[in-house]
Chain A
């Protein structure tokens, strides 16, 4: 009887240790903390790109030039597409959203919606034409036209031999005047990493 009890306790203890040793551990970390696991593009790279490009685009003189040329009217920007020509899957939205957010927070630049989201807005407007009350119905043809389009590209160079690897990323963003096709601002962020396996 006593032996059986000892055996049961021992079995529970052993299974407890086994479960604890096999369980996955997850810890919340600060999003500002740099944790490099594989050496691939990660959240720290996206954050560094966002910080640097935001500072550059808002500090450049294209805004003042536009304000002078348009009687103090703030420039309207639409975000175009970013081409990822690197060797990794990278979503530019991770840093573009930070830049868009800075446009709105700084109140220096106005932002208009594009792509699928704009389609959705127009579809909603179309729906309102038949379903909303006349006083609340939004009209077509009154959207803000963008003055500038923000486009970009991500490139990389990989130099690897045996267990060593150097990866170089370059994120380029360009702001172009839609009326004249004139590029008014170019920003770039370069990141180089040395990875040893």
Chain B
């Protein structure tokens, strides 16, 4: 009997406590507020500092647009750099060519097709390739 009374008292207390907690939670919620808002709040409080540090700034997420003219200038610049490196490496075979495509084919005979007069790709002159017709000595 005593045991039953003790269990009932415990259940009553538990019910009161849970009811109180529930009442407190519902009292904190505003009208139509999602009851699980605390989950989202906890998630974003952790990252707020990182995200908010970008306020008032511009995030640069640019792309490279193809520009025919810019690409041409870039190719020229790269060629100049490459020729300079070649000269620095001791390959003194460069001389301005009158080749149809501005290449480096200065053979005394007509030179057309892929390759160079010094033995094709990767030859002793640094592996230059050329297409076109060359005039020279």
Between B57, B58, B69, the greatest number of chain A beta carbons within 10 A of the residue's beta carbon is seen for: B58
The majority secondary structure among interface residues of chain A is mixed
CB-CB < 8 A to A87: which residues of B? 62-65
B-contacting 9-mer, from A19-27, A101-109, A114-122, A128-136: A114-122
B62 touches A115 (CB 8 A): no
Whether A115 and B56, one on each chain, are in contact in the complex, defined by CB atoms closer than 8 angstroms, is yes
Tell yes or no: A96 within 8 A of B by CB. yes
7 intermolecular pairs with C-beta atoms under 8 Å apart: A80-B55, A81-B57, A83-B59, A84-B60, A86-B63, A87-B63, A115-B55
The interface size bin for chain A is: 20 to 34
- The answer to whether B55 and A114 touch across the interface, beta carbons within 8 angstroms, is yes
* Interface-side segment among A57-65, A153-161, A183-191: A153-161
Contact with B53, one of A78, A82, A119, A161 (Cβ below 8 angstroms): A119
- 10 A-B pairs closest in CB distance: A114-B55, A115-B55, A158-B65, A87-B65, A92-B58, A115-B56, A81-B54, A160-B67, A197-B69, A83-B59
Of B61, B65, B70, chain A has the most CB atoms within 10 Å of the CB of: B65
Q: What is the distance, in angstroms, from B99's C-beta to the closest C-beta of chain A? A: 23
B66 touching A160 by the CB < 8 A rule? yes
Residues of chain B with a CB closer than 8 A to A193's CB: none
Asked if A115 contacts B54 (CB within 8 A), the reply is: yes
Q: Which residues of B contact A85 (CB under 8 A)?
A: 61-63
Interface size on B, residues (CB 8 A): 19
A163: interface (CB < 8 Å): yes
The verdict on A91 contacting chain B, using a C-beta distance below 8 Å, is yes
Chain A nearest CB: distance from B112 CB in Å? 27
- Do A86 and B62 have beta carbons less than 8 Å apart? yes
B61 touches A84 (CB 8 A): yes
Q: Would A158 and B66 count as touching, CB distance under 8 A? A: yes
Contact of A82 among B52, B59, B65, B68 (CB under 8 A): B59
- Per a CB cutoff under 8 Å, which of B55, B60, B63, B69 touches A79? B55
B65 touches A160 (CB 8 A): yes
Assembly CA distance A90 to B59 (angstroms): 9
A165 touches B59 (CB 8 A): no
Does A88 sit within 8 A of B, measured CB to CB?
yes
Q: Contacts of B55 on A, CB cut-off 8 Å?
A: 78-81, 114-115, 118
Residues on A with beta carbons closer than 8 Å to the beta carbon of B66: 158, 160
